[in-house]
Structure 1
């Protein structure tokens, strides 16, 4: 086969691959506007968005050297998707984080504590509740929002926080006849004058607390949206798929079913959260584990016109979940424009499968 023929075949293959990536990228770009409860496939395209972005950058560089005119295909596609690209990467490399806590600053911590099972359920730490509460208290926050929090009559997990945060509201989504409770909790140094729980169609809920700080009242929401509910078997199945083992087809079906269910449920939960937070009579902040990436219907629906503290004051892709993929930013702090975001940080204490978020906010006068 002559070199000319080889080149032509290679060119056709690369152009075809480029066009496939373009189509998938454009589908991912519209996924924030399509409720996955109506079209679940949009959830999958949002998950692979960062990889599609890298592929388009690769094709841009390739065509610039090989066929400059063809570089217009990936470049125009990237421009079309700029809004989605802008929520992936934060551009503040020198922002840093100071532990100093000025009087006018509201410091908020958000963390999915993984049911106090540690970063890996196979290696549960004995004193994890005290280690976790101590790592939070060291930051001297004013408000703490925790997801996958649990407590029981036999082991009170609320108690270690009460000295520093005497006010709290607990969603109590899972109630085991009062002997065991699980859900989201909001702790506060300041008085809570009102609180509530808005239940989703599934087990999870959205909770809020109205907090009085000086002459100001603000509302803090936190939530934990539907996860994929992957267990040890599912992570083993993912390894089988990755390694192309014989059982990978059956494994794929199991993973697919769980992901499809989660996408469907999160779409409805995002709608409920959007409608409820719009009712706030006060400047508000919503934070929590959305279990979805920035290029998702969930993120765009809940965020609306709010600020993203990570995008305002951080740098990088902001991975907040340590399993599966290095691209998973699924935990957020989203204040309204009533606040100025002063600083933001992500703190990995190796005490959960999620990374702790902390931000300093100032209420504008």
Structure 2
């Protein structure tokens, strides 16, 4: 009798947990359709989709073994959320830059270079970060480079003339200069480098933070519009990471830490909702075949990603493999950097390059303009 009651209690508990996971997952499935400017709470669910999927698969397998009829709970949920699954994983084993670039391909590199600060805490190592970043990019022989958190200063020092590291090979560039200080001596923002002529440029300034920039590049007889951007981040400082650790370890100050983190995340979700709409408007207005590279600071299971991507091609999904983590802090599932191309392009190759020189992983893709 006692065993029967125990089994019934365990079964009821497991069903309850499964129903809760299903409810959370279905709520997360609404994330792409609800602008976080107004529905910011939904934005939090997008961050946990990979974990919800793993747990639902675990329950699916468990129910198939123990009680097959209950396997319908996670199975139906996963089927309903197929769009979330489609952007979560890429299924191209052996992917990478495995073939020489063809003359009619455009090799694109995208990288948030973290202001050339690097990951090492050693002062001597940090002195060479700028050169190592440049060498890592240049050896890939890209045609165009998009960078976020790029800084430049006219004075000597570690954060000095970063432009000259690239302009020898890439004489054409457009720099957003979103942040300036010391009468313009120090500049920071997004930048586009090109080895092909740039015939026009433009900038869409966001209400807060940085901007969206573009450069019209002439390659042969074709004009291509290349965008890059850096959307609103959570702006976590060292103290915020300490707060996250307090939450993880259930420190006595965890409640206050949670409030601090929550406020920053809510603000970022709201701002990215506005920025995503501005980006989509600019993409729709482009008169040329168009590519967008950038640090969206948001995962694929988000309004930001779905609204900006729309029907465009995600280079990682087309030619990558795995979950595509591009930000190395906080969690192993954060794919927040993207190369997107419209229907005029064919994605030929894609790879991610991690040289421990930034908290972001570099993206590289060969794109071919369809004729």
Specify the TM-score bucket, using the shorter chain as the normaliser. over 0.9
1:151-170 equivalences in 2 (<5 Å): 151-154=152-155, 155-170=160-175
Q: CA deviation at 1:100?
A: 2.1
Per the alignment, do residues 108 and 55 of structure 1 end up closer, same or farther by CA in structure 2, a change over 3 Å counting? same
Per the alignment, do residues 243 and 114 of structure 1 end up closer, same or farther by CA in structure 2, a change over 3 Å counting? same
TM-score (norm. length: structure 2): 0.97
Residue 289 in structure 1 maps to residue 295 in structure 2: yes
Q: CA deviation at 1:122?
A: 7.6
Instruction: State how far apart, in whole Å, the 2-side matches of 1:347 and 1:249 are.
Output: 38
Which one of the candidate residues 181, 187, 192 is aligned to 1:181? 187
Whether the aligned pair in 1 keeps the contact of 2:95 and 2:351 (CA below 8 Å) is no
Residue 22 in structure 1 maps to residue 27 in structure 2: no
Instruction: State how far apart, in whole Å, the 1-side matches of 2:142 and 2:258 are.
Output: 43
Whether the aligned pair in 2 keeps the contact of 1:211 and 1:220 (CA below 8 Å) is yes
Residue 195 in structure 1 maps to residue 201 in structure 2: yes
Whether the aligned pair in 2 keeps the contact of 1:99 and 1:139 (CA below 8 Å) is no
Q: Number of aligned pairs?
A: 365
1:69-88 equivalences in 2 (<5 Å): 69-88=69-88
1:292-311 equivalences in 2 (<5 Å): 292-311=298-317
Instruction: State how far apart, in whole Å, the 1-side matches of 2:185 and 2:332 are.
Output: 37
Q: CA deviation at 1:45?
A: 0.4
Whether the aligned pair in 2 keeps the contact of 1:152 and 1:179 (CA below 8 Å) is yes
TM-score (norm. length: structure 1): 0.98
Which one of the candidate residues 319, 335, 338 is aligned to 2:325? 319
Q: What residue in structure 2 maps to residue 35 of structure 1?
A: 35
Q: What residue in structure 2 maps to residue 135 of structure 1?
A: 136
Unmatched 5+ residue regions in structure 2?
none
Instruction: State how far apart, in whole Å, the 2-side matches of 1:2 and 1:334 are.
Output: 59
1:1-365 equivalences in 2 (<5 Å): 2-98=2-98, 100-119=100-119, 125-154=126-155, 155-176=160-181, 177-365=183-371
Q: CA deviation at 1:127?
A: 1.3
Task: Find runs of 4+ consecutive structure 1 residues off by over 4 angstroms.
Answer: 120-124
CA-to-aligned-CA distance 1:319-345 (integer Å, 9 cap, x gap):
000000000000000000101100000
